[in-house]
Structure 1
Amino acid sequence: MSVKLTARQQQILELIRSEISRTGFPPTRAEIARALGFKSANAAEDHLRALARKGTIELTAGASRGIRLLGAAAGAAAESGASGGLASSVAGPVTQLFVPLVGRVAAGSPILAAEHVEREVGIEPSLFTQTPDYLLRVRGLSMRDAGILDGDLLAVRKTPDARNGQIVVARLGDEVTVKRFMRSGGQIQLLPENPDFNPIVVTAQDDFSLEGIAVGLIRATPLH
């Protein structure tokens, strides 16, 4: 069954298709607002959220170009590019996902706060079994034996839950850390993958939350 869009939603969807076909990348909220005469980017955001609810696009939080066409909309963009003789250059970026790259996280502030985002990185969703919401730049060597090294980019899917053995991004007090999650008898432990580091035992008094689970890794340093 086809999705019924308002005239304005259809206009925005066509603009997204056009920009992907023309440049290989989706427009920012500000570019949509400018092209369609909106007073602010917030108006564009409202329409994008409506399109996302109707299943024609997927939005990534914290990424200004975090717009991905879905289903028939993605196919139409690819066909549009092919008709202009640009199929080979457009086919890849049509499905490219732009996610925020998070660097050092300040104490007490949300992990996707604007001041933490170094830039947006274009990735192919097919690289990962689950679509990540952001990339986190790894600090330190506590997960070295799991193949996660200082400077690597950990692909993370936001979720407040994890299963035993999963590698997670956790917030404990003012610190954000990458560890292996283990729950036993109501007690949570965050386990390193390096014998030089000690396990972290989470108590009921600790300010603890899960920021997400690791769904992949991008090696940011050259192999020797």
Structure 2
Amino acid sequence: MSNDSPKLTPRQQEIFELIQQAIATTGAPPTRAEIANQLGFRSANAAEEHLQALARKGVIELVGGTSRGIRLKAGTLRGLHETRRAPASAGKSRLGSLSGLTAGNLPLPGLEQLVLPLVGRVAAGHPILAQEHIEQSYAVEPSLFTRTPDYLLRVKGMSMRDAGILDGDLLAVARTREARNGQIVVARLGDEVTVKRFQRNAQGVTLLPENPDFEPILVGPDTPDFELEGLAVGLIRKDF
């Protein structure tokens, strides 16, 4: 972290790095129970106390109403990126994938910008980045992502609520046709584009929601028009 960053206790630093690792690996922050289990706490309440301390120090933001409502703040991510560039600390930090940025904070003056198209409604049989699908463009800071995104997708619905992905959010997506189990993906089923957690087994692919009010989507060999469009690598929350 930069010299201007808040000083963390060793335990807070451990939790902070665990959050970064979970986001970079799976595309979503850990739950309190997962933090407690990973670090040997007796209960999730102990993890919550440390998270509240990190929030007070301004390095994370806690979002109510969701078990994975933990976001790395933009200023923290910039500090991490600067630290990663320093030779003495190269490789020590991994950048969080779901950044918790708001479009009201973008673009960031004096920093290199990446211009991403915002994809709206997608027509069946057309590439997702076809010109007719592009609503507008946003300028973002490239260093906020572990992997450079190719486009933004407007999230519709609350099926990924418990991963901290809400209706109206702009999801940063890196194009790919492959995914590992547990990653958050963008998939196309006909003319519907959906954001779900990816799971593959011998029977096929299951697209898992992060909200108990929604059912998993089973994708078998005979499912027509299924395409994996990309991986979630960031999130922009509009505040205007």
How far residue 221 of structure 1 moved from its aligned partner, in angstroms, is: 4.4
Query: Could you say what secondary structure the match of 2:132 adopts?
Result: helix
Aligned position for 2:68? none
CA RMSD of superposed structures (Å): 1.7
How far residue 107 of structure 1 moved from its aligned partner, in angstroms, is: 2.6
The structure number with the bigger radius of gyration is 1
1:143 equivalent among 140, 160, 164: 160
**Cα gap change, 1:203/1:128 in structure 2, threshold over 3 Å: closer, same or farther?**
same
**1:68-119 deviations in Å (ceiling 9; x for gaps):** xxxxxxxxxxxxxxxxxxxxx9842xx2111101112223321111111111
Query: Could you say what secondary structure the match of 1:177 adopts?
Result: strand
Q: How does 1:30-109 map to 2 (within 5 A)?
A: 91-92=110-111, 95-109=112-126
Aligned position for 2:236? 218
Aligned-partner Cα distance in 2 for 1:201–1:221:
34
How far residue 153 of structure 1 moved from its aligned partner, in angstroms, is: 0.4
- The gaps in structure 1 that reach 5 residues or longer are 1-88
How far residue 212 of structure 1 moved from its aligned partner, in angstroms, is: 0.3
- The gaps in structure 2 that reach 5 residues or longer are 1-107
Aligned position for 2:227? 209
Aligned-partner Cα distance in 1 for 2:110–2:221:
50
Query: Could you say what secondary structure the match of 1:209 adopts?
Result: strand
Aligned position for 1:120? 137
Aligned position for 1:73? none
How far residue 201 of structure 1 moved from its aligned partner, in angstroms, is: 0.4
Aligned-partner Cα distance in 2 for 1:200–1:134:
24
2:178 equivalent among 155, 161, 165: 161
Paired residues of 2:203 and 2:220 also in contact (CA < 8 A): no
Aligned position for 1:181? 198
1:171 equivalent among 166, 171, 188: 188
**Cα gap change, 1:90/1:138 in structure 2, threshold over 3 Å: closer, same or farther?**
closer
Aligned position for 2:42? none
**Cα gap change, 1:90/1:217 in structure 2, threshold over 3 Å: closer, same or farther?**
closer
**1:101-158 deviations in Å (ceiling 9; x for gaps):** 1112223321111111111110000111111000000011111111100100000000
Q: Percent same amino acid at aligned positions?
A: 70
**1:47-69 deviations in Å (ceiling 9; x for gaps):** xxxxxxxxxxxxxxxxxxxxxxx
